[in-house]
């Protein structure tokens, strides 16, 4: 019926770009969440948002960065929600070092100023080059380098030896 016909009509270029964009969104979410199912949910939501904004982002050179940024923000929100909902795990003490590191990183990232967080996530979790980060955020590569330097320094200061942020 009406909903089905609309669902089968994808905006031009969306279907061709979907796999690569979904893959990038999934990888960044997986690095933050450490869980395939949760990362798939985040990547699916990021792609739903990309679909909703496709008219604006389809032909933009920064669309991949946009999707990675949306996925990382959704993943960080999921970590915060998980931490609020499951505070008993944190009270008892988590045995899995990987989970401890992910929670510490998510919390430290959430405390960074927005632009520093975006640059660190795009560069180190999303795997974008400095030029791609600049394009995605619509700033100069010099600004990316500055925010990256400040963001990593703040993370090192907060996390200490827990993280290797080179």
Note the pLDDT tens digit of each residue in 30-47.
Answer: 988 888 999 999 999 999
Cβ-contact 103, 114 below 8 angstroms: no
Q: What is the pTM of this model?
A: 0.71
Identify the pLDDT of residue 94: 46
How far is residue 14's CA from residue 46's CA, in Å, rounded to a whole number?
13
**The pLDDT of residue 5 is above 50:** no
Of 67-76, 88-97, 102-111, 154-163, the range with the highest mean pLDDT is 67-76
Choose among 124, 142, 123: nearest CA to 132: 123
């Amino acid at each position: 019926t009406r909903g089905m016909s609309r669902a089968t009509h994808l905006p031009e270029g969306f279907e061709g770009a979907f796999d690569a964009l979904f893959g990038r969104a999934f990888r960044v979410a997986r690095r933050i969440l450490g869980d395939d199912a949760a990362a798939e949910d985040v990547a699916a939501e990021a792609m739903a948002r990309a679909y909703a904004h496709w008219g604006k982002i389809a032909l933009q050179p920064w669309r991949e960065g946009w999707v990675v940024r949306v996925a990382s923000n959704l993943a960080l929100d999921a970590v915060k929600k998980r931490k609020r909902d499951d505070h008993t795990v944190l009270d008892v003490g988590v045995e899995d070092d990987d989970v401890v590191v992910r929670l510490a990183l998510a919390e430290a990232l959430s405390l960074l100023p927005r632009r520093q967080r975006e640059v660190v996530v795009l560069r180190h979790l999303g795997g974008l080059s400095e030029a791609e980060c600049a394009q995605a955020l619509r700033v100069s590569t010099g600004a990316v380098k500055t925010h990256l330097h400040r963001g990593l320094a703040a993370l090192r200061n907060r996390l200490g030896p827990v993280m290797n942020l080179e």
